[in-house]
Amino acid sequence: MKKTINKSVAFILCLLMLIGFTPVASAEDELPNVIDQVQLFNDEAWMALDELLYTLSAQLGYEIIAVVPYMVSPAEEKSFVDTLYYQNGYGFDENRNGVVLVANDNEMTFKVYPMGYNNQVFTASGIQFLEYVIAPFLDTSIADMIALFAMLTADYVLQAKTGTPYKDDFLPNAADYFDRLIIGWNSGVSDDDILRLKHALLEMQERDQFDAMAIYFPSFASITLAKTLEEFYKTYGFGVGESKDGIILYYSEWPEETELYVHGYGKIAFTESGQAYILKTLLPILKNREYLRATETYMALCRQFLAQARSGDPYDGDFMPGNENPSHFKSGAAYSLGDVNGDGKVNSSDARQVLRCAAKLVDFSETQRRLADINGDGKVNSIDARKVLRIAARLEPLPDEKITVA
């Protein structure tokens, strides 16, 4: 596992200060809240994480501990945690309540252990959900896993103090704590670039009211409980607004596993042919392992597709970026009036193109203009577009006249 500080740790600490959790200075002889027995983190990363967990613990009156153990098997883990926690005097008041996250870097496993003698913060279903949410970070960034674990624990504690702890179908919205960009440590993308891209995705979410995410895992199936990207999206509560509008891209070391999932308005902005276009564009970049360029390209395409959809004319069929006026004409062939793209049919795609030409959003060739001028007045306007649409909907018969391409 790569030993590096993830800048989101410091970012989360800043967020804590903004929402009222002022960092609490710990005494020199205080027990650490982050116990790193394998020296996974450098000093800066460890101090940021330890201060985060210590501050939350002190503010909440509830011990939050994270351990990265050395050579502890899963079978020995519970005994190890009990010894570490109780013999070292962790826990608040006489009940010594708290929680311990064990992120076993050697075994590539993790588990959350509620501690104390009257711990009513975590129900069984609450723990299951918490573990589900933090699972993806085991193989990407344990620092992020610990930070997310701490933030969610704070939410659990505050909710339990109301007398109604999280359980069953009453659970936190994980998407509120989840970065819109997760890139594994072996991607070669720098921390600075990751932070820049995260901010750009959050800005897109705020500006466009649309949730766009990109997730790079070495293996999606091996580190999450989700059977599909759709289940992952829905369980975490991603999406904006009542219809949960959004798109999520998953990619890995194996380009053939690249996948998109769209929800809500995403199904309008990113049609099936649009999604195929995006995947086709990204595939050669991913094959070259250019994960930064792939992510930037994906984000640029998201912005372009959303802008086009909001204009009322989403990309679809052959109408794609760089091919805003698609055509399939063959020399010597005859085409029906209205078939402005030469695919042998008159449908809504033709009506859309005629309307775009009438609005001067696209230039037609001389052949296309002749095919679009349904009423023969020498102009291409909204009247022609409406007639093409009526022909496509079979409300009017297909004209007998055909135009032969020179």
Of 234, 248, 244, 264, the C-alpha closest to 201 is 248
Please check whether residue 147 is in contact with residue 9, taking contact to mean a CB–CB distance below 8 angstroms. yes
* Same domain assignment for residues 145 and 234: no
Residues 292/178, Cβ–Cβ less than 8 Å:
no
Q: Are residues 256 and 356 in the same domain?
A: no
Do both 280 and 394 map to the same domain? no
For residues 188 and 162, state if they share a domain: no
Q: Are residues 134 and 217 in the same domain?
A: no
Distance between CA atoms of 264 and 375, rounded to whole angstroms? Answer: 39
301 in the same domain as 354: no
Rounded Cα gap, residues 232 and 213, in angstroms: 12
The predicted pLDDT at position 324 comes to 63
Query: What CA–CA distance (Å, rounded) separates 307 from 212?
Result: 14
Do the domain assignments include residue 315? no
Work out how many domains the chain is built from and give that number. 3
Assigned domain for 225 exists: yes
Q: For residues 160 and 145, what is the distance between their CA atoms, to the nearest angstrom? A: 22
Domain boundary among 176, 196, 218: 176
CA 245 to chain centre: 12
Q: Look at the alpha carbons of 80, 31, 2, 10 in this order and tell me if their dihedral is positive or negative.
A: positive
Q: Smallest Cα–Cα separation from 286: which of 210, 197, 183, 199?
A: 183
Do 298 and 380 lie in a common domain?
A: no
Q: How many residues are recorded in the chain?
A: 406
Query: Given this model, what pLDDT does residue 185 score?
Result: 60
pLDDT of residue 325: 64
Distance CA 136, CA 317 (A): 35
Intra-chain end-to-end CA distance of the chain, in Å? 64
Q: Is residue 275 part of a domain?
A: yes
Whether 44 and 71 share a structural domain:
yes
Asked if residue 51 and residue 79 are part of one domain, the reply reads yes
Residue 329 lies in a domain: no
Q: Residue 339 is part of a domain; what is its CATH number?
A: 1.10.1330.10
257 token code pair: 């596993």
> Do 334 and 406 form a contact (C-beta atoms < 8 A)?
no
Residue with tokens 């219809």: 243
Q: Is residue 323 part of a domain?
A: no
- Return the pLDDT at 27: 45
Residues 107 and 14 in one domain: yes
Mean pLDDT by 10 residues, the chain (406 residues): 42 48 52 93 91 93 95 91 94 92 87 92 93 80 89 94 93 80 75 88 92 77 59 86 94 86 96 95 94 94 93 83 75 89 86 87 86 91 90 88 84
Domain hosting 342: range is 334-404
Q: Residue 222: its pLDDT value, please?
A: 44
Residue with tokens 């008041």: 93
Supply the pLDDT for residue 132. 85
pLDDT at 218: 59
Residue 318 lies in a domain: no
CA torsion, ordered 389, 394, 396, 397, to nearest 10 deg: 120
CATH number of the domain to which 157 belongs: 3.10.310.50
Same domain assignment for residues 295 and 376: no
At 207, the amino acid letter reads R
Distances (CA, A) of 87 to 40, 90, 141, 312, 366: 24, 8, 29, 65, 86
In the chain, the amino acid numbered 11 is F
Q: What residue ranges in 48-108 does DSSP mark as E strands?
A: 63-68, 98-104
Instruction: Tell me which of 128, 155, 176 is where a domain ends.
Output: 176
Domain end (from 176, 199, 216) = 176
| Structural domain includes residue 400 | yes
Check whether residue 206 and residue 156 sit in a common domain: no
Q: Which of 355, 343, 356, 359 is nearest to 385 (CA)?
A: 355
Structure tokens at 203: 């800005």
Residue 109 lies in a domain: yes
Dihedral-angle region of residue 360 (phi above 0 means left; psi in -120 to 50 means alpha; beta otherwise): left
Q: Which two tokens stand for residue 92?
A: 């608040």
pLDDT value for 5:
40
Q: Give every CB contact of residue 166 below 8 A, 6+ residues apart in sequence.
A: 123, 125, 126, 129, 155, 156, 159, 160, 172
How far is residue 35's CA from residue 49's CA, in Å, rounded to a whole number?
A: 10
